[in-house]
Amino acid sequence: MTELLQKVRVIDPVSEIDELFDVLIADGYIREVASHISDISSDTQIRDCQGLVLGPGLVDLYSHSGEPGFEERETLLSLLQSAAAGGFTRVSILPDTSPAIDNPALVAQLQQKKAEGQRGRGAEENLSPLLPCSPAPLLHLWGAITLDVAGKQMTELADLASAGVVGFTDGKPLENLALVRGVLEYLQPLGKPVAFWPSDRQLAANGVMREGTDALRFGLPPIPASAETTAIAAMLELVATIGTPVHIMRVSTARSVELIASAKAAGLPITASTTWMHLLLDTKAVKSYHTSLHLDPPLGKPSDVVALRAGVRAGVIDAIAIDHTPYSYEEKVQAFAEAPPGAIGLELALPLLWQYLVETEEFTALELWRALSINPAECLGQKVSAILPHQPAELTLFDPQQTWKVERKSLYTLSQNTPWLGQQLQGRVVKTWC
pLDDT digits (tens, 9 = 90+) for 172-218: 999 999 999 999 999 999 999 999 999 999 999 999 999 999 999 99
Residue 55, Cβ density class (10 Å: 0-12 exposed, 13-18 middle, ≥19 buried): buried
- Report pLDDT for 121: 42
- Report pLDDT for 40: 87
The reported pTM is 0.95
Say if residues 173 and 200 touch (Cβ distance below 8 Å).
yes
Task: State the amino acid at position 167 in one-letter form.
Answer: G
Taking the C-alpha atoms of residue 8 and residue 11, their distance in angstroms, rounded to an integer, is 9
What is the residue-averaged pLDDT of the chain?
95
Summarize pLDDT for 371-400 with one digit per residue, the tens.
999 999 999 999 999 999 999 999 999 999
Judge whether residue 136 has pLDDT over 50.
yes
Q: How confident is the model at residue 127 (pLDDT cuts 50, 70, 90)?
A: very low
Say if residues 310 and 260 touch (Cβ distance below 8 Å).
no
Helix locations, 134-269, DSSP H: 157-163, 177-187, 201-204, 213-218, 226-242, 254-265
Paired residues of 417 in beta bridges: none
Q: Between vectors from CA 127 to CA 124 and to CA 128, what angle results, nearest 5°?
A: 150
- Report pLDDT for 126: 35
Q: How confident is the model at residue 131 (pLDDT cuts 50, 70, 90)?
A: low
Q: How confident is the model at residue 407 (pLDDT cuts 50, 70, 90)?
A: very high
Query: What sign results for the dihedral spanned by CA atoms 209, 212, 215, 221?
Result: positive
Judge whether residue 329 has pLDDT over 90.
yes
- Report pLDDT for 133: 73
Say if residues 248 and 272 touch (Cβ distance below 8 Å).
yes
Judge whether residue 150 has pLDDT over 50.
yes
Q: Where are the beta strands (DSSP E) in 14-95?
A: 17-26, 29-34, 45-48, 53-56, 58-63, 88-93
Paired residues of 143 in beta bridges: 168
Say if residues 210 and 276 touch (Cβ distance below 8 Å).
no
- Report pLDDT for 113: 79
Please say if 323 is a catalytic residue.
Answer: yes
Taking the C-alpha atoms of residue 210 and residue 298, their distance in angstroms, rounded to an integer, is 6
Say if residues 143 and 102 touch (Cβ distance below 8 Å).
yes
Taking the C-alpha atoms of residue 171 and residue 429, their distance in angstroms, rounded to an integer, is 28
Output DSSP code: residue 36: -
Proportion of the chain above pLDDT 90, given as a percent? 92
Say whether 405 sits in a helix, a strand or coil. strand
Paired residues of 410 in beta bridges: none
Please, which residues have CB within 8 angstroms of residue 434's CB and are 6 or more apart in sequence? Answer: 57, 84, 89, 118, 133, 134, 135, 136, 137, 138, 394
Taking the C-alpha atoms of residue 34 and residue 45, their distance in angstroms, rounded to an integer, is 17
Taking the C-alpha atoms of residue 414 and residue 428, their distance in angstroms, rounded to an integer, is 19
Which of 102, 203, 77, 188 is CA-nearest to residue 153? 102
Exposure of 333 in the CB half-sphere (CA atoms within 13 A): 5
Q: What is the mean pLDDT of residues 6-16?
A: 98
Judge whether residue 105 has pLDDT over 70.
yes
Judge whether residue 336 has pLDDT over 90.
yes
Say if residues 294 and 281 touch (Cβ distance below 8 Å).
no
C-alpha 387: how far from chain center: 22
More confident residue, 129 or 279: 279
Taking the C-alpha atoms of residue 43 and residue 15, their distance in angstroms, rounded to an integer, is 30
Judge whether residue 298 has pLDDT over 80.
yes
Query: What sign results for the dihedral spanned by CA atoms 54, 57, 59, 65?
Result: positive
More confident residue, 131 or 133: 133
Q: For helices 226-242 and 254-265, what crossing angle results, to 10°?
A: 10
Q: Between vectors from CA 163 to CA 159 and to CA 166, what angle results, nearest 5°?
A: 105
State the DSSP H helix or E strand holding residue 190, giving kind and residue range, or none if neither: none
Annotated catalytic residue, options 214, 282, 304, 323: 323
Q: For helices 302-314 and 254-265, what crossing angle results, to 10°?
A: 30
- Report pLDDT for 134: 64
Judge whether residue 156 has pLDDT over 90.
yes
- Report pLDDT for 128: 44
Taking the C-alpha atoms of residue 416 and residue 381, their distance in angstroms, rounded to an integer, is 32
Give phi and psi for 324, each to the nearest 5.
-55, 120
What length does the chain have?
434
Backbone torsion region of residue 313, taken as left when φ is above 0, otherwise alpha when ψ lies between -120 and 50, otherwise beta: alpha
